[in-house]
């Protein structure tokens, strides 16, 4: 299921999304890359922003909602910097 879903993602719309939000890297991770991806699974997305991208909480929520509309699924949007600076 997951490979078929990934192949059908609207890559042009995702590229436009990245340009709009100054995203320099967008990567998928989690169940979308495994065999346990289900019709009710969300899409886990890791992003890196351009150095001049300074988004507040409300803009990050708007960004996540925009991406959910594009992919047709709930999205968990994670910034790479947040993971790299995590103590876990």
**22 CB-near residues (< 8 Å, 6+ apart):** 49, 50, 52, 53
Domains and CATH numbers, the chain: 5-83 (3.30.460.10)
86 pLDDT higher than 80? no
pLDDT for 2 equals 57
Read off the pLDDT of residues 26-81 as tens digits, 9 standing for 90 and up. 999 999 999 899 999 999 999 999 999 999 999 999 999 999 999 999 999 999 98
Read off the pLDDT of residues 9-30 as tens digits, 9 standing for 90 and up. 999 999 999 999 999 999 999 9
Contact 29, 44 (CB under 8 A): yes
Taking the C-alpha atoms of residue 55 and residue 60, their distance in angstroms, rounded to an integer, is 6
pLDDT for 14 equals 98
User: Residue 88: pLDDT band by 50, 70, 90 thresholds?
Assistant: low
Reference 73, options 23, 14, 20; nearest CA is 14
């Amino acid at each position: 299921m997951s490979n078929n879903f990934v192949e059908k993602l609207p890559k042009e719309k995702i590229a436009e999304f990245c340009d709009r939000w100054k995203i320099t890297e967008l990567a998928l991770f989690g169940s979308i890359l495994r065999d346990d991806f289900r019709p009710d699974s969300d899409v886990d997305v890791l992003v890196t922003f351009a150095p001049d991208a300074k988004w507040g909480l409300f803009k990050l929520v708007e960004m996540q909602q925009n991406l959910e509309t594009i992919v047709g699924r709930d999205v968990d949007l994670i910034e790479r910097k947040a993971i790299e600076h995590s103590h876990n």
